[in-house]
Chain A
């Protein structure tokens, strides 16, 4: 167990290293930083000075080593726009994005799990069919358009909820959170639902498929034959066996929720990382882009690692060192 975890850890480190190479080559070689950094009106001396300042006159491998060195110290350079360390800018906005993503995940689970269970247990009912058609729509509707429509209906027409921003926040453990204030809650509802829509459909379909796979199994039949209560069969025999795919989804989709929050944050002007990265791409703010990408890669590697470890705990048959 321990050796396999260590092996996984080595693999994870290798992935991170590989991604640093890809990001470095992408940003430094394909996109020419000199064009971005230097004012086109600058004279030759000025150009040379800036190139030397950023170490762009060094050979590529040396530049890469410098990049790695900075990475280890958490130093991605200063943002061209804000003039402050890029990583700090991103970390500052991390709680807002996390709050949004976690709320969306909770919403997706609260709706997706019971609805999927229902649709799986009673596939013949009309209500189940309506749920399933709804999930197809949830898949097909472009998230950003749904966001706009939510704003149109709930903010513009009905005037119930605010259209953008985060509302007042309250500090907890030194970080500002929206959900602790009533106004903040109201600001959170629309973006969170918007972000949750796709994942709700996903979890719903996954749970339904899982239920239909588990129900005909012998151990469920046996439990029925023993005369166990239906509620116990569902809670213990069915739900427990659903946990593996659900845990995978929670893990993997949480990362993708953070990535997709780019869209929702742009619509609702939610001051998170996603909004920052879009602005940075538009303004060619290279240090922030690189810092964001590396943060996301790290996040995904860590999530994948945690999921793998959870697997072994949930299902002893799966071993980390087993060949997939």
Chain B
């Protein structure tokens, strides 16, 4: 390939990217979702500097400040804008720190599952025959069980904890990618450019990752985005059930769970505000994902 062709291809790639970005922001709803998501990520990233207190530092918590209503002032003059939980933890700080856990768990598990699932799907499509049959049977088996059951099964085996939740989510979600990628790769495999690459006697891994993979990426990106939202929701659910984060370092689900008993006596804020934060995050990611799907227009979606 000459240098000239290289640059024109790069230029057209850039043009496509620019068009994609313009398309994406043509939808005000998606743009709002995107901006919201950026703000949430920023807040989570800056949590140690902007939150009024460190909610994980037990030294900073004063049990005397427990269960204060939103807007209350503590002895030391700190205003609890969203109230405090039973430990005297500022809910706002708890949310900011909790968002960190949620986002890390969501992104980590979705991307790890994407990498694993995509690789397995590609291998299944490329190798075919026995390998494919075995992999696809495994995928079918996996997909016939609901995610929460898989996650519960993994947590029952691995034990509680945030890292185990990430592992459980990866194991529960990889199959979706594998199936989608295999579906696309089967179509792509028959096309001329792969045939040409085979003629050139390029090594198998090179065809897989340099030729087949880039053409399967669009749906993977869409699924991964949606999966981040799902994973965040599931992490919160598992934490709510007491299988995720520890009591001293509550994630959003844990905060909501700890507020439950107080909810019955009318102290709504411990559960209410973290739930709103969770909801906004999930909706924002879903809006972005929805739009991405429209813009990238993947040929097959599961």
Residues of A within 8 A of B (CB): 15, 18-19, 23, 26-27, 30-31, 136-137, 139-145, 148-149, 151-152, 155-156, 163, 255-256, 259-260, 262-263, 266-267, 277-278, 281-282, 289, 293, 296-297, 300-301, 304
Number of interface residues of B (CB under 8 A): 40
* A27/B278 contact (C-beta < 8 A), A140-B229, A144-B256, A148-B260 known: no
Q: What residues of A have a CB within 8 angstroms of the CB of B253 in the complex?
A: 142, 144
Do the beta carbons of A293 and B229 come within 8 Å of each other? no
Determine whether the beta carbon of A293 is less than 8 Å from that of B237: no
- CB-based closest 8 A-B pairs: A145-B275, A256-B146, A26-B157, A259-B149, A259-B146, A140-B283, A140-B282, A289-B156
CB proximity of B291 to chain A, nearest CB, Å: 13
Q: Number of residue pairs across A and B with beta carbons under 8 Å?
A: 113
Contact (Cβ within 8 A) B286 A136: yes
- Chain B 103-135: CB-based contact to A (< 8 A → 1; otherwise 0): 000000000000000000000000000000000
Chain A residues with CB under 8 Å of B157's CB are 26-27, 30-31
Q: How far is the CB of A48 from chain B (nearest CB, A)?
A: 25
B141 within 8 A of A: yes
Whether the pair B237, A26 counts as a contact (CB closer than 8 A) is no
* Bound: A151/B272 CA distance, A: 12
Q: Are B243 and A142 in contact (CB under 8 A)?
A: no
State the CA gap A27–B159 with chains docked (Å): 11
Interface of B, helix, strand, loop or mixed by DSSP: helix
Q: Determine if B159 and A142 form an interchain contact, defined as CB atoms under 8 angstroms apart.
A: no
Minimum C-beta distance from B245 to chain A (A): 14
Asked if A145 and B279 sit within 8 Å, CB to CB, the answer is yes
A-side contacts of B259, CB under 8 Å: 148
* Among B145, B159, B260, B275, contact of A31 (Cβ-Cβ < 8 Å): B159
A260 touches B158 (CB 8 A): no
Are A300 and B275 within 8 A (Cβ)?
Answer: no
Say yes or no: is B170 at the interface (Cβ < 8 Å to chain A).
no
Other-chain contact of A18, B141, B156, B275 (Cβ < 8 Å): B141
Measured CB to CB, the nearest residue on chain B to A266 is B241
Residues of A within 8 A of B242 (CB): 278, 282
Return 5 A-B CB contacts under 8 Å, by A number: A26-B157, A140-B279, A142-B278, A148-B263, A256-B146
